Every structure is written in C-alpha cells, then in structure tokens.
Structure 1
Amino acid sequence: MKWRGRQGSANVEDRRGMGMGGKGMVGGGLGLIIVLIVTLLGGNPGDLLGGLQNAGQGGAAYEETAQDKELAEFVSVVLADTEEVWSDVFRKEGLEYTEPKLVLYSGSVESACGTAGSAVGPFYCPGDQKLYIDLSFYQELQNRFQAPGDFAMAYVIAHEVGHHVQTLLGTTEKLAPLRQKLSEKEYNKVQVRFELQADYMAGVWANHAQSMDLLEQGDLEEAVRAASAVGDDSIQKQSQGYVVPDSFTHGTSEQRMRWFKKGFQNGTIEGGDTFKARAL
C-alpha cells in the first residue's frame, strides 16, 4: 500500500505503556459486549480475562521500537484513508459520517465495553465509538495466521471501521434485543451476518482505496488471505483440530473472503445487506 509520506489521522489516541493499574473487571455485561469485542479472533471470554492477569498488574514498561513507530504511522494513515472514503460515501447517501477514534494500547486497555487484554485482538467498541488495537497483532497476523503484508493489517483496520459504519447506520443497536430473544445457536447465526457485513464494508473501502491509486500489486491478495485466515473454521482447526459450525460467530474463511470481495466489487453500501441475503 502506498502510505509513506502521506498525512495520518488526527483521531489516534496513544495509550501504549499506560497499563491498567491492576484493574481487571470486565464491564458492560458479557452478552453482546464480549461478542462485539472479539471481532476477529472468535469470541472466547476466557482469552479476555486471561490476558489481563499480567497486563492488569502494571506490566513491563513499554518502549516503542522502530517497527512499532512505523506501524503506528501506517495505522494512522490507513485510518485517515477510511475517514476520507466513508465521509464521501455517507455524503453521497445524504448522511453525515462521524469519525471514530483509534486507540493504540499495549497489554491491556479499558474501554466503554470493559477492560480487554491484547489476546482478544483488535476490536471496536460501539459504546465509545473507538477502535482498539495492540500493534503486536501485526506479528500475530504474520506468524499465527500466515497473513503477512501491510494491506492485511489495513484490512483488519477497515473491518473494525466497518463496525463503526454499522453503528452509525443503526445496525449494531438492533442486535442487543436479539441476544435475549434467541438461543445461542440462533444468535450466533445473526452474529455471523453482522461480521460478514463488516467484511463487506472493508471491501467497499478497499475499492475506493484502489480508485485513489493507493493499492500496490499484491495488496488485494494480502487482504483476501487475511480474511481467510480469520475465518471461524480456520481458527478452530488451528486451535482445537476440528470445527463446530454452530459456534461460528464470524463466518467461514470462504464466506469472509467472498463478502470482502463483494464489497470490493460493488464499492457501495448497497449490496451489503447480509441480514437479507438468503445464502451467505
């Protein structure tokens, strides 16, 4: 991705090295909040709590490496690109886009959705309309998920911004009542559609990024590879050796790739209603 030397976003909040001072409670309830928090890694509340045991007690002092500095600059530029794209898309729809904040943290962080450790991966909190990311996830993308490349990371950010778009469009608030009405199995199916829509939105952004001549050769393939790597079936096979479809909350690798590609091909909000789609 062509990002070096370009202006970053002013909406980046750097909390790296701040720690949680021993706070380890998860706030906001363990229903929809936890499901929304774990927007990439599959939704295990135990990971969230376990990741706090050490980080929540102060942890080691944070020192920014040269790679971290470069990643922070990259993330800021990508966020700025999403701001430009979605402001334009909303304006054409007769709507106003409210820019989200992006919080950089290390180890653990407190949000309006509760306290989370880096084990949950990047997440978006609708309660404060902020994206949260520990830059160490970049290494996890490369090593654990075998999805290297800067545009793989850009896809991750665009997916979380996709959740912000859903919040602004009123989609997110519609899920909360369903949590109480549906069985876990049925609610998981709704959650899959919610996550696939965020993948579609990430594809819409990528379409506009290409129109802005920001993509380089191989970028789209990096994003598709990342979408595949974080599919529920891929993660479950890697972590436990088998898959449990009824527990899927984000979609299969094939579904995530397909909806990202669909968003990339369409380039508009229209066509991304995963809730009305007969087949995912």
Structure 2
Amino acid sequence: MRLRGARRSTNIEDRRRSGGRGGAIGGLGIGGVLLVLAIGYFTGIDVTPILNGAPTESSAPRDLTEGEQRAADFTAAVLGSTEDVWTQIFPEQAGRQYRAPTLVLFSGQTASPCGGASGATGPFYCPADRKAYLDTQFFATLSQRLGAKGDFAQAYVIAHEVAHHVQNELGILPQVAEARRAASQTEANALTVRLELQADCLSGVWAAHVEGMLEPGDIEEALNAARQIGDDTLQRNAGRVPQPHTFTHGTSEQRARWFATGYDSADISACDTFRARNL
C-alpha cells in the first residue's frame, strides 16, 4: 500500500506507554466476548478460538519500540484514508455528514465502556464511546499466527473496525442491538454474522476509493485476511469441528465474497446484508 505522503489522522488516543492503565483487565474467552456483545455491543475480529490464553504485556509504563512506532504511523495513515473516503462519499451515498471515530492504540490489555479486552480478543469497536480499539501487536499475530501477510491485510483490519463506526453512523448498530436482545442465542448470532459481513463489504467500499494507494496484490492480501479470520477457519485451526450455529462473523468464503462485493461496487447500497437471501 502506498502511504508515502498520505495524511496521518490525529484522531488517535495512544495508551501503549501506560500499558492500558486505567481499569484494564485480562483477556476474554469466547464466552466473555459473547457477554460483552449482550451488554455493550462489542464488535470486532474475534480470534479467541485460537488465541485465548495468549500472554499479555505488563501494565507498567514503558518506552515504545521502533516497530511499534512504525505500526502507529501506519495506523494513522490508514485511518486518515478512511476519514478522507467516508467524508467524501457519505454525503453522496448516505445523504449525511460523516463524523470520524477515535482509534485507541493499546498494548496487551485495556478497558472500554463495552468491556475489557486484551490482544487475544483482537481489534474491536465500541459504539458507547464511538472508538475503535487496536493492539498493534495484532499485526504480527495476523501475519505469523493467522496466515494473513501484507500491509493491506493490516489496513483491512483497521478499515473493518471503522466500518463498524460507519454502521453506527447509519443507525444500524442500535437496530441490531435491539433485535439481538429479543432473539434467541442462535438468532442473535445470525444477526451478528450479517453485521460483520456488512462491515467486510463496507471495508471493500473503502478499498475501492483508495485505488491510487493500492499496489499489485493488495486486494488479494485483504481477501486472504478475510478468509483466514472466517469462523469456520478459526474453529478448524483451533482443532474443532466448525459449528455454524455458533458463528458470529461468517465463513471464510462469505467474508471474502462480501469484501469483494463492496470493492467491485464502491457503493454503500450494495452492502445490505440484512436483506440478502444468500449470505
């Protein structure tokens, strides 16, 4: 991804030097993530099936490494591109102004109004404070443990969490949260799958509008990342038989296909997963 000269977002809250100080708690397992979903509507990339129990860093103040600084700069550039894209196309496609989110960088563990999180839970978005949360160490996890290499795979992760903010701006998150409260667990999971696939599609819409930044192979990196974090693949890699009724993010095939749908259309309206008969 070509980011030289790209505008860096200033909507970043960096908690890494303090190690997430201020009410930080440990990692969440699958049950913990579902509990947060029920209480605060926590949306993100759930990799707990294979990372649950991964070590977290100390909360003691520390200096940032050169690699962490590069990750922060990369994140600021990608976040800036999402701000530019959504600010431009929101009035055209949604008929409203776009209000950008804040992105919180943390290390090891942190707290949010939607609950606590650790690096093992993956990045997430909390609508209660309109902030996305990212442990930049997840980039290494994405490449080394999940098999999703490349800078555009990392950019896709950021764009996916921003896409949840887009859903919040469109009023979709509160509607789904209300529907989930009245649903059975299986029905609630199915609604969450549609929400996550829509976020993948909206990530594709963003990608379609940053084509000047794309390099050969970038889109395939994003598609591969989407496949590697499908529920079926994560459960299989954790040594389990995939259980579709427990899926909360969609299969590998679905995630890649909906990203491609957004990319090919470049249009928010193509991402209505809630009316789609064939997910």
Q: Residues 9 and 31 of structure 1: is their aligned pair in 2 closer, same or farther, counting only changes over 3 Å? A: closer
SS at match of 2:238: helix
Within the alignment, does 1:224 sit opposite 2:229 as a pair?
no
Residue equivalent to 1:39: 44
Residue equivalent to 2:62: 62
Could you list the runs of 5+ residues in structure 1 that have no partner in the other structure?
Answer: none
- TM-score when normalising by structure 2: 0.90
Within the alignment, does 1:142 sit opposite 2:143 as a pair?
yes
Q: Residues 68 and 232 of structure 1: is their aligned pair in 2 closer, same or farther, counting only changes over 3 Å? A: same
The 5 A counterparts of 1:76-225 are 76-92=76-92, 93-210=94-211, 213-225=212-224
Whether contact under 8 Å (2:156, 2:203) holds in the other structure is yes
Whether contact under 8 Å (1:43, 1:249) holds in the other structure is no
SS at match of 1:30: helix
Number of matched residues?
272
Aligned identity (percent) is 46
Which range is displaced more, 177-186 or 256-265?
Answer: 177-186
Residue equivalent to 2:10: 10
Whether contact under 8 Å (1:12, 1:103) holds in the other structure is yes
Q: CA deviation at 1:239?
A: 0.8
Could you list the runs of 5+ residues in structure 2 that have no partner in the other structure?
Answer: none
Q: CA deviation at 1:183?
A: 1.1
Whether contact under 8 Å (1:11, 1:100) holds in the other structure is yes
Q: Residues 130 and 33 of structure 1: is their aligned pair in 2 closer, same or farther, counting only changes over 3 Å? A: farther
1:223-275 deviations in whole A, cap 9, x for unaligned? 00000000000000011331101100000000000000000001011111000
Q: CA deviation at 1:60?
A: 4.7
CA RMSD after TM alignment: 2.4
1:39-68 deviations in whole A, cap 9, x for unaligned? 212567x94xx67x965xx53543322221
**CA–CA distance in structure 1, aligned partners of residues 40 and 263 of structure 2:** 26
Q: Residues 71 and 134 of structure 1: is their aligned pair in 2 closer, same or farther, counting only changes over 3 Å? A: same
Q: CA deviation at 1:38?
A: 5.4
SS at match of 1:240: coil
Q: Which amino acid aligns with 1:63?
A: D
- TM-score when normalising by structure 1: 0.90
Whether contact under 8 Å (1:79, 1:157) holds in the other structure is yes
